[in-house]
Structure 1
Amino acid sequence: MDGLKLLPILLQMPCLKKLLLSGVGGVKDEVVSELAVVLGSTLEELHLADCRLLTNAAVVGVAACCLGLKVLDLDMLPLLSDMAISCLADGCRSLRVLSLKRAKLSDEAVAAFITASGSSLCEISLNSVQQAGDNTLVALAKHSRMSLEVLDMSWCRSVTDHGLGFVADSCPLLRELRLFGCTQVTRFFMDGHSNSSLEVIGFGRENITSPGHWSNSGL
C-alpha cells in the first residue's frame, strides 16, 4: 500500500474516527498534515507506527488539528524529537492512550507533556525510550494519578525502585506495569509498594533481590 495513493480516498471520508496507517509506505509529513486538516474535527484514533519517514512536522499538524484525539500511536518513528511531544502537549489534551515505543525523547520532555496533558491518560507506553526515568514517573504519579491504568516502561534502564514505587502507590487505578528488560529494578520495589491490584509483567530472575522498604519522601 502507498500512503500517497490512499490520500484521495481517505479525504473523502470526513466522518472517519479511526485511522490505522502503521507500516504503510509513502506516509510522509504532507500526507499526515493534509489528513489532519480534513479529518481533524472527527478523528479520535490515529496509528502511525513504523512510518519512518515522518518527522516533527507531522506531529505539529496532528496537534494543531486533531484536538479530540484519544488514541495516538507513534511507535518506532526515529526522526521525532522533543519538539514533537511538546507540540502534543499544546494541542492534544484529551489523549487517553499514547504509545511512543523507541522514541528518542528526553525524560524532561516526556515529564513536561504529562504535566500539561496527562490528566486523561489511561495507558502510556514508553517501551525502549532510553532516557525516560524518574521525572516521567513523578509526573505520572502527580498528574495522571486518577486515570492511569496501564504503564509500559520496558527497557527504560533509568527508572528506579523509588520512582516506580511512587507511581504504584499514587495511582490507585494502575493495574498493569510492564518492566521487561529493567534489570535494575529489584525486590525493593516489588515488596515495598502498596498497590495490591497491580500486576507487574516482565519482572524475572535477572532482577536482583534487595531487602528493605522503600520510601517516596525524596521524590
Structure 2
Amino acid sequence: MPYEQAPNALGDRRAGWAAAARRRAAHFAHYANADESAQEDNLHTGGNEARTLGPWSSARQLVEGRAAAAAAREDKIAAAAKAVAEAEAEADWQPRRDPALGPRIAPRVGKLFGMCLAVLVEYIDDVETLYGLPTLIKIQLARAVSDARRMTPEALRLFTEDGPDEVVLPECSQLAPAALAEALVPCATPRLERLELGMCGRGFGDAVAASMVAAGQLSRLRSLRLGGAYRTTDADLAKLLAAAPNLAELRLPQCSRLQDASAIARLTPDLEVLELTECRGISTQSLQQCLTSLKRLQVLELSGNTEVTDDLLTEVALACPLRRLAVSNCSTVTDRGVRGVAAGAPHLTELLADDVGRFTDAALVALSESCRDIQEVSLRRCTKVTDVGIAALVLSGKLRSLNVSGIAHVGPASLKALATSCRESLEELDVSWCRGVPEAWLGVLADSCTSLRRLTIFGCSQVTSKLLNGHSNDGLEIVGATAQKTPPPSVGRIVLQAEA
C-alpha cells in the first residue's frame, strides 16, 4: 500500500508547484507601473514590456531605459543651470571698478584709541589706578582685558574700586568666589546702576549674592546680567531682585539651576528687557505666569529654551509691547506662533529665529503684513524658507540686517527684492552657503545699497574676484570670501653644464 500511494503524493506536490509558478508568473505577465510620475527618476526602468520579453531583450531594454533616465536627469541639471544663467543675465551687472586693480588697499595705521587700549592691556599688571578715567573708556578697557584673558584679581580691583556706577566684566572664568566677592561687595552701593558679569559660574554663587545684598540696597541698579551663573539658584536670584526694585533690564543666559520664574515678575514688575537664553529648567507654566505679568516688557530672548510654545508666544505678544524677540533653537515654535506674535505685537522690529526648522514662508508673510517696522531678521538654517517669504519680508523697505545663511532656496528673487526695496536701509547681509545666489545679483546689491557695510559670503563658491574687486561700494566689507590663489610662476628648465 505505501508503494502505491507514493506516486500520487509526488503528483500532488508537482501540481502545487505548477500552480505556485503560474500565480507568480502572473505578476510579470501583467506588469503595470503604479507610479508613472516617478518613472523618469528610476535609473532601472525599462518600460512595460521589459518583463514580457525574453531575458536578453529585457536586459537590453532595461539598459536603454536606464540611459534614458540618466539623460533626463542631466537635462534637469542643465535646465537649472540655465535658469541661474538667465537670472545672472537678467541682472546685467558690470563691475564699475576694474577687477584687475586688485583688492582695495586697507588703511595700515589703526586708530589711536585702539593702539592706546592695546598698550594698556599689555601692561595692565603695572597700572596702579584708573581713577578719573571716564566710565565709557573703563568699560571698553575691561572688555579688551577680558578678551585677552588677563582679568586677574589684581586687574579686577582697577575696575571695581572707588564705588563705580557701572561694572562690566565680560569674562570672569578666572576669578574664584573669594576674589569676586572681595571686589563686588564694595560696589554694592546705591550708586551702582549697571552690573554685568560674563562667564561667572565659577565665582558667583549664593555666598557672593548674600554678601552683596548684606552690603546695602541696590536702589539705583537698572541693569543686571549674570552670564553662565550655573551655581545661582532661585533663592539667590530672589535675594538680588528684592534688593534692586527698580531693575529694568535682567539678563540670565545659561543659568541652568533656575526653575521658577515667578519671582522675576513679582519682585521686578517694571522690567523692559528679559533674557532667559538656554534656561532649560524653567517650565512653560512658570514662563507663562511670569511673562504675561510684565506689562512693560519690550525685549524678550528665549533662545535655546525647549519649553517655548506657540501658545506662550501668542499670549506674551498680547500682554507685552514687544519690540525684539529671540526664539532661536526653539524646536516647538511653528508658523502659528509667529502669526500670533505678528498679530499681537505690530511694533516688533527685531526677530531672531535661527535653526527653527518648522518656519515657512507663511510666517514671514504674516510678519510683513502686520509688523511694518521690522528692521532685523535672522533666519539662519531655516531650511523651509524660500524667495517667496524673503521677498515679502523686505517690502517694508526698513530692513537693516538680514541673515539667511544656510538656506538653499534663497536665490535671485530675494536679492532683487533687497536691492529694490532696501536700497537705503540695508546695512548687513549674510548669505553664507547660499550657492543659488548669483554673483551678478550680489554685485547689483553692493552697488545699489549705499548703506551696506557688511556682506558675509562663507561657502559661496560662485563668487569670484569680479565681485570682490569690482563693486563700487568703498565702505563695504566682504567677509568669508575664498582666497584667490595665484598660479605659481613658470620655471624654465634648468640645464646643468659641466665647468670647462
- Taking structure 1 as the reference length, the TM-score comes to 0.89
Find the counterpart in structure 2 of residue 48 from structure 1: 327
Give the AA of the match of 1:56: D
Contact 2:339-2:366 within 8 A present in 1 as well: yes
Which of the residues 358, 367, 374 maps onto 1:79? 358
Q: 1:208: Cα distance to partner?
A: 8.1
Q: Is the aligned partner of 1:114 residue 2:402?
A: no
Alpha-carbon deviations, 1:78-120, whole Å to 9, x = none?
A: 11111111111111110111111111211132112212x2x11
Which residue is equivalent to 2:418?
A: 140
Query: SS at 1:72's partner residue?
Result: strand
Partner Cα separation in structure 1 for residue 419 and residue 361 of structure 2: 21
SS of the counterpart of 2:312?
helix
- Which whole-Å CA distance do the structure 1 matches of 2:485 and 2:410 have between them? 21
Of all paired residues, the percent bearing the same amino acid is: 37
Per the alignment, residue 62 of structure 1 pairs with 341
Quick check: 1:157 aligned with 2:438? no
2:343 corresponds to which letter in structure 1?
A
SS in 2 for 1:191: helix
CA offsets 1:112-138 (integer angstroms, 9 cap, x no match): 2212x2x11111111111111111111
* Structure 1 position 178, deviation (Å): 0.3
SS of the residue aligned with 2:380?
A: coil
> Partners of 2:473 and 2:485 in 1: how far apart?
21
Residue 168 of structure 1 corresponds to: 446
Asked if structure 2 preserves the Cα contact closer than 8 Å seen for 1:85 and 1:109, the reply is yes
Give 1:91's aligned residue: 370
Q: Output the CA distance in 2 between the equivalents of 1:155 and 1:113.
A: 21
Q: Measure the CA separation in 1 of the matches of 2:392 and 2:293.
A: 36
Per-residue CA distance 1:44-73 (angstroms, 9 max, x = gap) = 111010001111100100111111111111
Q: CA deviation digits over 1:134-158, x for unaligned, max 9? A: 1111111110111110111111111
Alpha-carbon RMSD: 1.4
Q: 2:306 is paired with a residue of what secondary structure? A: coil
Which structure has more RCO (C-alpha within 8 Å, separation ≥ 6)?
1
Alpha-carbon contact 2:360-2:389 (below 8 Å) kept: no
**1:122 and 1:208 mapped to 2: Cα distance?**
33
Q: Is the 8 A contact 2:298 2:324 kept in 1?
A: yes
Is 1:106–1:132's contact at 8 Å kept on the other side of the alignment? yes
Q: What are structure 2's unaligned runs of at least 5 residues?
A: 1-280, 487-500
Residue 214 of structure 1: aligned partner: none
Runs of 4+ in structure 1 displaced over 2 angstroms? none
The residue type equivalent to 2:475 in the other structure is S
Instruction: Provide the residue aligned with 1:2 in structure 2.
Output: 282
**CA separation in 1, counterparts of 2:401 and 2:440?**
21
Out of 189, 195, 200, the position equivalent to 2:478 is 200
Give the paired residue count: 204
Give the Å deviation of 1:25: 2.0
* Mapped pair 1:100 → 2:379: yes
1:33 aligns with 2:314: yes
How far the C-alpha of 1:3 sits from its partner, in A, is: 5.0
Q: Which amino acid aligns with 2:432?
A: S
